[in-house]
């Protein structure tokens, strides 16, 4: 009798034990091809610069800290990036490639979520949060 109770308890523990696997539909760490990452960074930079209204200079991604993805009706890409203030002022028409980051300036960490549907070439930033 006690043996069957022990078996039932062991089976229940197996059902309620914490799992180390990812939840279906949750964001998961991902590595992206350099070309894909460059496109996402360009989209993120544009939106971060729009979001940081009080910043007179453009900011530029200086480091990608983390990339995650979530499959929905398309794909959400969550980028955690460090941005630095550049020498270029907002309103100047320049390519970001020529805007050098000012040395010694305080950088910020930003989380940006970009939603994409690759089959119809659709991209939209759905969240920007900078610390």
**pLDDT truncated to tens, each residue of the chain (131 aa)?**
544 544 444 443 344 444 456 677 899 999 999 999 999 999 999 999 999 999 999 999 999 999 999 999 999 999 999 999 999 999 886 788 899 999 998 999 999 999 999 999 999 999 999 99
Pseudo-torsion of CA 22, 27, 32, 38, nearest 10°?
Answer: -170
Per domain, the residue ranges of the chain are 23-130
Spatial separation of the C-alpha atoms in residues 68 and 5, rounded to whole Å: 44
* pLDDT tens string 92-111: 867 888 999 999 989 999 99
User: Which has the closest alpha carbon to 85: 96, 93, 75?
Assistant: 96
Q: Which architecture characterizes domain 23-130 according to CATH?
A: Roll (3.10)
């Amino acid at each position: 009798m006690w043996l069957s109770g022990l078996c039932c308890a062991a089976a229940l523990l197996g059902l309620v034990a914490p799992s180390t696997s990812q939840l279906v539909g949750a964001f998961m760490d991902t590595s992206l091809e350099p070309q894909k990452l460059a496109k996402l960074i360009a989209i993120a930079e544009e939106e971060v610069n729009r979001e940081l209204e009080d910043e007179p200079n453009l900011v530029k991604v200086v480091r990608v800290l983390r990339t995650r993805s979530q499959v929905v009706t398309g794909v959400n890409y969550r980028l955690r990036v460090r941005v630095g203030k550049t020498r270029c002022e907002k309103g100047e028409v320049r390519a970001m490639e020529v805007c050098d980051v000012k040395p010694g300036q305080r950088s910020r960490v930003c989380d940006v979520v970009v939603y994409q549907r690759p089959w119809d070439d659709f991209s939209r930033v759905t969240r920007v949060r900078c610390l």
